[in-house]
Structure 1
Amino acid sequence: MTALSVRDLHKSYGRARVLDGVSLDVAEGTTTAILGASGCGKTTLLRLIAGFDRADGGTIALAGRVVSAVPPEKRSIGYVAQEGALFPHLTVQANIAFGLSRAAGTRAERRHRVAELLDLVRLDASLARRHPHELSGGQQQRVALARALARRPALVLLDEPFSSLDTALRSATRTAVAEALRAERVTTLLVTHDQAEALSLSDEVAVLTRGRFTQVAPAREIYAAPVDLDTARLLGPGTTLPGKADAGAVSCTLGTLRVAQPCPDGDATVFVRPEQLRVTPAAGGNAVVRASGFLGADTVLTVELPDGTLLDARADATVAYTTGERVTVDVVGAVNAYAART
């Protein structure tokens, strides 16, 4: 069943067109990530769905019911902003309970629901009497999620909820949030500019560029076969090389390579991700290490081919590489190639 259906949505601010005919379907109980660069219209789309702003055209439907003119409080939507937006004068318990009306049951039932939600987002019950300023950033975001889930909404909107957290805290909070959403089986729309976040948390990824979706597909599919070069770059780093496409293969400075998806014959741009390059120390190798960065789990290398082409690659961190060292570079698997822009 389709939980959210957006059709031909338009929104402009003055002469600036932010959304240009956006359409999207989100299946019940799934998580869809809207991925895009800053200013592409992600947050505007979320605000229209939440009812905070009105669209210039198009429709928004929840479970088949058009809600374009329905006020926010009547849309059965939970919303988690970047900073959590907790009430500073209320305790954790009171913040979560704020999402429950007296119609939600007796006082004891509401207390039980608050305790249930704290457990759901992996927060200790001892935190219930603390105020937001007494919590870490990650804890505040989990409280915000618990508040959004309190009424068991039909849809939860997450607006870059982890962007202000440091790397370690972001990972732990992301895991806790993902587990809570799965446990509640709630339909979720996540807005982010972080490709790792989009790919790891979602069932589907919708790439938004200049007010339009360029591709909507399952996370693994969209990473393996981006529809165009801009989408490929948005989904992660890579090196572009000039090449020639012919009969399902592409020739470039790395040799003749298999392509992951059809590319028209003729001039092409080859896109190679760092993890597709296998680097091996070799005295007579076809490349030279120009830079090496140890990241713990792996090493990021910049290697130079004989024609001067520079490639970014990821290598085994158990091997130490030095600047000037000769290596052999091989391509693993198929690459993506796109018709060269004229």
Structure 2
Amino acid sequence: MIEIRDLKKVYNGVTVVDVPSLSISAGESVGLVGNNGAGKTTLFRIILDLIRKDSGEVISKGYNVSETDNWKDYTGSYLDEGFLIDYLTPEEYFYYIGSLYQVSRSDVDLKLDMYREFFNDEILSKKKYIRDLSKGNQSKVGVIACLLQQPEIILLDEPFANIDPSTQIRLKNILKQIERGSNCTTIVSSHDLNHVTDVCQRILLMEKGKIIKDIRTDSNTLTELESYFSVQQVESFKSIDRS
């Protein structure tokens, strides 16, 4: 489904992404974890051809993402509120996204009705522009908008941030339902190890642009990750003390 080969991105002499090889199969649910600056968002942006790589390639269903737009027809993503059209109401935005993928207004309404619990009566029919919504509610709009086309690939960058615990649980249920009910490939980055290990079959741990662990999720995965980041925190404190 997605193949990454010899991928590198360098900013000001610092390598921020260095992934020699990565393969993600159709239907896999993959979690991407790492500290701030690990390269997660940069990797997402390269996969979505939002920034130029320095070398290597990203292949999506046989398409090189930097050479064609065909992959956009089956790929949904939400990275942050900056990708929303904030002078529209949520309804206007959903209809606009639907129109891009030949989804009629009536079908958009049917799909939105499926997510009323997730919206928690805070999104629809409020006569608010997206810019006037809280960051959490903007995130809800972005996540659901990327599902309207029923994509084969979904990329979500920190979707659990800024939303309340009840909504986090609802989002996890949506992601689990997608995993059970389709052959959709999902890639989710998150700082919340509990959430990402709960919804993803596979965890990629990034550090300084490199994928240093590739783990099949089991009952020990959360403990393994927590142990890793605990050691990282201790090493960070030691480094501060030495300085």
Fold shared, TM-score > 0.5 on shorter chain: yes
C-alpha change, 1:136 and 1:14, in structure 2 (3 Å) is closer
Q: Which has the larger radius of gyration?
A: 1
- Match for residue 34 of structure 2 among 11, 33, 36: 36
C-alpha change, 1:124 and 1:35, in structure 2 (3 Å) is closer
1:129 aligns with 2:111: no
SS in 2 for 1:58: strand
Cα offset, 1:61, TM superposition = 1.0
SS in 2 for 1:98: helix
C-alpha change, 1:233 and 1:121, in structure 2 (3 Å) is farther
Number of the residue aligned with 1:113 = 108
Number of the residue aligned with 1:283 = none
Counterparts of residues 101-180 of structure 1 (less than 5 Å): 101=99, 104=102, 109-120=104-115, 122=117, 123=119, 127-130=123-126, 131=128, 132=130, 137-166=135-164, 168-169=165-166, 171-179=168-176
- CA-based RMSD: 3.2
Give the Cα separation in 2 of the matches to 1:113 and 1:159: 24
Higher relative contact order (CA closer than 8 Å, sequence separation 6+): 2
Structure 2 alignment gaps of length 5 or more: 232-243
Name the % identity.
Answer: 24
SS in 2 for 1:78: strand
Instruction: Give a deviation string over 1:58-106, Cα, whole Å, max 9, x none.
Output: 111112222233359846321212447433332222211221236615x
C-alpha change, 1:206 and 1:10, in structure 2 (3 Å) is same
Number of the residue aligned with 2:235 = none
Structure holding more strand per residue: 1
Contact 2:193 2:222 in 1 (8 A): no
Cα offset, 1:159, TM superposition = 0.8
Counterparts of residues 178-217 of structure 1 (less than 5 Å): 178-179=175-176, 181-182=178-179, 183=181, 185-217=183-215
What letter corresponds to residue 153 of structure 2 in structure 1? L
Structure 1 alignment gaps of length 5 or more: 239-342
Q: TM-score, normalised by structure 2?
A: 0.78
Q: TM-score, normalised by structure 1?
A: 0.58
Give the Cα separation in 2 of the matches to 1:24 and 1:143: 30
Cα offset, 1:163, TM superposition = 1.8
SS in 1 for 2:162: coil
C-alpha change, 1:121 and 1:207, in structure 2 (3 Å) is farther
What letter corresponds to residue 128 of structure 1 in structure 2? L
Contact 1:96 1:144 in 2 (8 A): no
C-alpha change, 1:176 and 1:91, in structure 2 (3 Å) is farther
